[in-house]
Homo-oligomer: A and B are copies of this chain.
Amino acid sequence: MSQDRTSKKGKPAGRPRGRPPSKAARQKALQAARDILMREGFGRLTVEAVAARSGVGKPTLYRNWANASELAMAALMAGEVETTEAGDARLETALGGQMRALVRAFATTRGRQIAIALAAADPESEMTKAFRNRVILSSREAGRGTIEAAAARGEIGPVDDIEALLDMIYGPLFYRLLVGHRPLDERFADNVVAIALRALGVGNRP
């Protein structure tokens, strides 16, 4: 009959009416998806396989996620939040630490699965946007905070083209992840940060 799930009535509206969605089912599905992603890769993460491994019914999966790639993103997102503090450390220390952590986090199977999932997803879906913001762009935003804090306290001058600069710091990580032409290691992290700092006028050659 009525498809309106939100039922935006004036009432404070306690619980909606019927049996509530099962958190347990969602958790089991995400865990199974994570397992498959790590053991067999994105291409084998089918809705059918998740249903079989998790014991959750297919219709329940489709009630929660629109397709396999949204399920993959949800699995990759779960427990992702570790945002670094904008802190007071010197810019090099702060950026370098974050970059090294990122490299460690992404230089795994999961890193490439994240890139593939992003490529395969419908770029307009809400889930994709959430994934993008929480998994891909959150570090970029942390970096923006770090740099702006350094500018505010006078460690560096004002930065006018910060968007491009941020892409130059965080883009290379995904570039290497996707293209695979060179390894993702800490030396790489350090070099990227060093170059960015030179561009910011820190530690320039004489």
Residues of A within 8 A of B (CB): 1, 52, 55, 115-116, 118-120, 123, 132, 136-137, 140, 157, 161, 163-165, 167-176, 178-182, 188, 191-192, 194-196, 198-199, 201, 204-205
Contacts and interface: CB of A to CB of B under 8 A. Distances in A.
Q: How many copies does the complex hold?
A: 4
Given A118-B178, A204-B204, 19 more contacts: A115-B178, A116-B120, A132-B180, A132-B181, A136-B179, A136-B181, A137-B179, A163-B182, A164-B192, A164-B195, A167-B172, A167-B182, A167-B188, A167-B192, A168-B169, A171-B171, A175-B175, A195-B199, A196-B199
Main secondary structure of the interface of A (DSSP, over half): helix
Nearest to A193: B164
B179 A118 contact: yes
A204 B165 CA distance: 15
